[in-house]
Amino acid sequence: MSRPPLDALLRDLGHRLRRGSATSPAAPPRLPTGEPELDQLLEGGLPCGRLSEISASPGAAQSCGRTSLALSLLAQVTRRQELAALVDAAGAFDPSSAGSRGVQLERVLWARPPARPEARSALRCAERLLLARGFALVLLDLVGVAAPCELSPVWRQLARAAAGSGSALVVLSAGRITGSSAEIALELLARRAHFGGSPALFTGLESEVALVRHRALTPRATRALLHRVA
Protein backbone atom coordinates (compact mmCIF):
# COMPACT_ATOMS: atom_id res chain seq x y z
CA MET A 1 0.00 0.00 0.00
CA SER A 2 1.41 3.39 -0.96
CA ARG A 3 1.98 5.99 1.70
CA PRO A 4 -0.88 8.51 1.11
CA PRO A 5 -3.71 5.89 1.37
CA LEU A 6 -2.03 4.42 4.45
CA ASP A 7 -1.90 7.84 6.07
CA ALA A 8 -5.57 8.38 5.26
CA LEU A 9 -6.46 4.98 6.75
CA LEU A 10 -4.51 5.71 9.94
CA ARG A 11 -6.22 9.08 10.23
CA ASP A 12 -9.70 7.54 9.73
CA LEU A 13 -9.22 4.73 12.24
CA GLY A 14 -7.82 7.15 14.79
CA HIS A 15 -8.13 5.95 18.38
CA ARG A 16 -9.24 2.46 17.40
CA LEU A 17 -5.69 1.56 16.48
CA ARG A 18 -3.50 -0.08 19.13
CA ARG A 19 0.15 -1.03 19.12
CA GLY A 20 0.47 -4.78 18.51
CA SER A 21 1.58 -6.96 21.40
CA ALA A 22 1.69 -10.63 22.28
CA THR A 23 -1.53 -11.43 24.06
CA SER A 24 -1.10 -13.52 27.18
CA PRO A 25 -3.13 -16.75 27.14
CA ALA A 26 -6.11 -16.76 29.48
CA ALA A 27 -5.36 -18.41 32.80
CA PRO A 28 -7.04 -21.81 33.06
CA PRO A 29 -9.84 -22.25 35.59
CA ARG A 30 -8.74 -23.62 38.96
CA LEU A 31 -9.86 -26.51 41.11
CA PRO A 32 -9.69 -25.48 44.78
CA THR A 33 -7.95 -28.05 46.94
CA GLY A 34 -10.04 -27.35 50.04
CA GLU A 35 -6.93 -26.20 51.94
CA PRO A 36 -7.22 -22.40 52.20
CA GLU A 37 -3.51 -21.76 52.74
CA LEU A 38 -2.54 -23.94 49.81
CA ASP A 39 -5.22 -22.44 47.55
CA GLN A 40 -3.83 -19.02 48.33
CA LEU A 41 -0.36 -20.23 47.43
CA LEU A 42 -1.66 -21.68 44.13
CA GLU A 43 -3.76 -18.60 43.39
CA GLY A 44 -7.03 -20.50 43.43
CA GLY A 45 -6.10 -24.16 43.24
CA LEU A 46 -4.78 -26.68 40.75
CA PRO A 47 -5.27 -25.70 37.10
CA CYS A 48 -7.85 -27.42 34.90
CA GLY A 49 -6.56 -28.81 31.62
CA ARG A 50 -3.06 -29.23 33.05
CA LEU A 51 -0.98 -31.95 34.61
CA SER A 52 -0.12 -31.43 38.29
CA GLU A 53 1.85 -33.69 40.57
CA ILE A 54 1.64 -34.32 44.31
CA SER A 55 4.51 -36.29 45.75
CA ALA A 56 6.48 -36.82 48.92
CA SER A 57 9.58 -34.71 49.58
CA PRO A 58 12.84 -36.55 48.88
CA GLY A 59 13.66 -38.63 51.92
CA ALA A 60 10.25 -38.05 53.51
CA ALA A 61 8.26 -40.89 55.03
CA GLN A 62 5.27 -42.43 53.27
CA SER A 63 2.89 -40.74 55.70
CA CYS A 64 3.16 -37.16 54.53
CA GLY A 65 -0.43 -36.24 53.65
CA ARG A 66 -0.51 -36.72 49.84
CA THR A 67 -3.56 -38.96 49.87
CA SER A 68 -5.39 -36.68 52.30
CA LEU A 69 -4.76 -33.74 49.98
CA ALA A 70 -5.95 -35.77 46.98
CA LEU A 71 -9.13 -36.79 48.80
CA SER A 72 -9.73 -33.18 49.77
CA LEU A 73 -9.50 -32.31 46.07
CA LEU A 74 -11.96 -35.12 45.24
CA ALA A 75 -14.36 -33.81 47.87
CA GLN A 76 -14.22 -30.30 46.43
CA VAL A 77 -14.97 -31.57 42.92
CA THR A 78 -17.84 -33.88 43.84
CA ARG A 79 -19.36 -31.29 46.17
CA ARG A 80 -19.73 -29.05 43.10
CA GLN A 81 -21.71 -31.91 41.47
CA GLU A 82 -18.90 -32.56 39.01
CA LEU A 83 -17.51 -35.96 38.12
CA ALA A 84 -14.08 -37.22 39.05
CA ALA A 85 -12.16 -40.32 38.05
CA LEU A 86 -9.62 -42.15 40.13
CA VAL A 87 -7.12 -44.49 38.48
CA ASP A 88 -5.89 -46.47 41.45
CA ALA A 89 -2.86 -48.37 40.21
CA ALA A 90 -1.76 -48.98 43.78
CA GLY A 91 -5.18 -50.39 44.77
CA ALA A 92 -4.98 -48.32 47.95
CA PHE A 93 -8.15 -46.24 47.81
CA ASP A 94 -10.20 -46.43 51.02
CA PRO A 95 -13.86 -45.48 50.39
CA SER A 96 -14.49 -44.97 54.13
CA SER A 97 -11.70 -42.38 54.39
CA ALA A 98 -13.02 -40.63 51.30
CA GLY A 99 -16.59 -40.65 52.58
CA SER A 100 -15.52 -39.22 55.94
CA ARG A 101 -13.79 -36.36 54.11
CA GLY A 102 -16.95 -35.43 52.23
CA VAL A 103 -16.33 -37.17 48.91
CA GLN A 104 -19.59 -38.08 47.16
CA LEU A 105 -18.61 -41.57 46.17
CA GLU A 106 -21.30 -42.05 43.52
CA ARG A 107 -19.70 -39.23 41.51
CA VAL A 108 -16.30 -40.91 41.47
CA LEU A 109 -15.36 -43.44 38.79
CA TRP A 110 -12.90 -45.80 40.42
CA ALA A 111 -10.71 -47.93 38.14
CA ARG A 112 -8.23 -50.40 39.60
CA PRO A 113 -5.92 -51.45 36.78
CA PRO A 114 -3.36 -54.16 37.31
CA ALA A 115 -0.14 -52.51 38.53
CA ARG A 116 2.13 -54.67 36.43
CA PRO A 117 3.95 -54.28 34.15
CA GLU A 118 5.09 -50.73 34.87
CA ALA A 119 1.66 -49.21 35.39
CA ARG A 120 1.04 -49.30 31.63
CA SER A 121 -2.64 -50.11 32.05
CA ALA A 122 -3.05 -47.26 34.55
CA LEU A 123 -1.56 -44.77 32.11
CA ARG A 124 -3.81 -46.02 29.33
CA CYS A 125 -6.83 -45.76 31.65
CA ALA A 126 -5.93 -42.16 32.46
CA GLU A 127 -5.57 -41.33 28.78
CA ARG A 128 -8.96 -42.89 27.96
CA LEU A 129 -10.62 -40.93 30.77
CA LEU A 130 -9.12 -37.69 29.50
CA LEU A 131 -10.23 -38.43 25.96
CA ALA A 132 -13.80 -38.99 27.18
CA ARG A 133 -13.91 -35.29 28.24
CA GLY A 134 -16.24 -34.23 30.99
CA PHE A 135 -14.43 -35.40 34.13
CA ALA A 136 -13.41 -32.33 36.12
CA LEU A 137 -10.59 -34.26 37.77
CA VAL A 138 -8.64 -37.35 36.78
CA LEU A 139 -6.55 -38.55 39.69
CA LEU A 140 -3.78 -41.01 38.85
CA ASP A 141 -2.45 -42.74 41.96
CA LEU A 142 0.96 -44.27 41.23
CA VAL A 143 2.31 -44.40 44.79
CA GLY A 144 4.24 -47.62 45.26
CA VAL A 145 4.01 -48.56 41.58
CA ALA A 146 6.88 -48.76 39.09
CA ALA A 147 6.01 -45.67 37.02
CA PRO A 148 7.73 -44.20 33.94
CA CYS A 149 10.66 -41.84 34.61
CA GLU A 150 10.69 -38.06 34.15
CA LEU A 151 12.05 -38.31 30.61
CA SER A 152 9.34 -40.63 29.39
CA PRO A 153 7.22 -39.17 26.55
CA VAL A 154 4.12 -40.56 28.23
CA TRP A 155 3.86 -37.51 30.51
CA ARG A 156 3.89 -35.08 27.59
CA GLN A 157 1.24 -37.22 25.94
CA LEU A 158 -0.94 -37.17 29.06
CA ALA A 159 -0.41 -33.43 29.50
CA ARG A 160 -1.57 -32.88 25.92
CA ALA A 161 -4.61 -35.08 26.51
CA ALA A 162 -5.42 -33.08 29.65
CA ALA A 163 -5.12 -29.82 27.72
CA GLY A 164 -7.50 -31.16 25.09
CA SER A 165 -10.06 -32.37 27.58
CA GLY A 166 -10.05 -29.48 30.04
CA SER A 167 -9.78 -31.96 32.93
CA ALA A 168 -7.30 -31.44 35.73
CA LEU A 169 -4.91 -34.40 35.71
CA VAL A 170 -3.30 -34.91 39.10
CA VAL A 171 -0.59 -37.54 39.52
CA LEU A 172 0.03 -38.88 42.99
CA SER A 173 3.51 -40.36 43.30
CA ALA A 174 6.15 -41.43 45.77
CA GLY A 175 8.73 -39.03 44.32
CA ARG A 176 8.66 -36.63 41.40
CA ILE A 177 8.18 -38.44 38.10
CA THR A 178 6.41 -36.10 35.68
CA GLY A 179 9.33 -33.70 35.22
CA SER A 180 8.80 -30.65 33.06
CA SER A 181 5.41 -31.89 31.82
CA ALA A 182 3.84 -30.86 35.12
CA GLU A 183 2.34 -27.39 35.36
CA ILE A 184 2.48 -27.53 39.14
CA ALA A 185 4.44 -29.85 41.40
CA LEU A 186 3.83 -30.08 45.13
CA GLU A 187 6.02 -31.94 47.61
CA LEU A 188 4.76 -32.85 51.05
CA LEU A 189 6.65 -33.45 54.24
CA ALA A 190 5.15 -34.65 57.51
CA ARG A 191 5.87 -32.33 60.45
CA ARG A 192 4.15 -33.90 63.39
CA ALA A 193 1.74 -36.72 64.20
CA HIS A 194 -0.79 -36.02 66.94
CA PHE A 195 -1.77 -38.69 69.42
CA GLY A 196 -3.86 -37.57 72.34
CA GLY A 197 -6.75 -38.16 74.69
CA SER A 198 -7.46 -40.94 77.07
CA PRO A 199 -7.39 -43.62 75.88
CA ALA A 200 -4.85 -42.41 73.38
CA LEU A 201 -6.14 -41.81 69.86
CA PHE A 202 -4.41 -40.90 66.63
CA THR A 203 -5.97 -37.51 65.96
CA GLY A 204 -4.09 -36.01 63.06
CA LEU A 205 -1.07 -35.09 61.05
CA GLU A 206 0.61 -31.76 60.40
CA SER A 207 2.29 -31.50 57.01
CA GLU A 208 4.19 -28.91 55.11
CA VAL A 209 3.59 -28.58 51.39
CA ALA A 210 6.24 -27.07 49.15
CA LEU A 211 5.46 -25.64 45.74
CA VAL A 212 8.49 -26.89 43.83
CA ARG A 213 7.31 -26.11 40.32
CA HIS A 214 4.85 -23.62 38.86
CA ARG A 215 5.22 -23.13 35.14
CA ALA A 216 2.98 -20.08 34.74
CA LEU A 217 4.02 -17.74 37.52
CA THR A 218 6.60 -17.04 40.17
CA PRO A 219 4.80 -17.57 43.46
CA ARG A 220 5.16 -15.10 46.31
CA ALA A 221 5.57 -17.95 48.77
CA THR A 222 6.52 -21.55 48.26
CA ARG A 223 5.41 -23.26 51.45
CA ALA A 224 2.13 -23.81 53.28
CA LEU A 225 1.12 -25.79 56.34
CA LEU A 226 -1.67 -28.33 56.26
CA HIS A 227 -3.30 -29.00 59.64
CA ARG A 228 -5.36 -32.12 59.84
CA VAL A 229 -6.01 -32.66 63.48
CA ALA A 230 -9.45 -33.97 64.36
Tell me which residues touch other proteins (CB under 8 A).
60-68, 70-71, 75, 79-83, 90-102, 104-114, 121, 124-125, 128-129, 131-136, 143, 190, 193, 195, 199-205, 227-230
Of 132 and 216, CB closest to other proteins:
132
Cα–Cα distance between 210 and 192 in angstroms, integer?
16
CB of 224 vs other proteins, minimal distance in Å = 16
Of 208 and 214, CB closest to other proteins:
208
CB of 16 vs other proteins, minimal distance in Å = 38
CB of 193 vs other proteins, minimal distance in Å = 5
CB of 117 vs other proteins, minimal distance in Å = 13
CB of 196 vs other proteins, minimal distance in Å = 9
Cα–Cα–Cα angle for 98, 99, 101, rounded to 5 degrees: 65
CB of 176 vs other proteins, minimal distance in Å = 17
CB of 189 vs other proteins, minimal distance in Å = 10
Of 17 and 193, CB closest to other proteins:
193
CA distances from 186 to 57, 66, 131, 139, 213 (A): 9, 9, 25, 14, 7
Count of Cβ atoms closer than 10 Å to residue 167 Cβ: 28
Task: Report yes or no: 177 and 149 within 8 Å, Cβ to Cβ.
Answer: yes
Of 129 and 214, CB closest to other proteins:
129
Of 90 and 184, CB closest to other proteins:
90
Of 67 and 181, CB closest to other proteins:
67
Of 73 and 182, CB closest to other proteins:
73
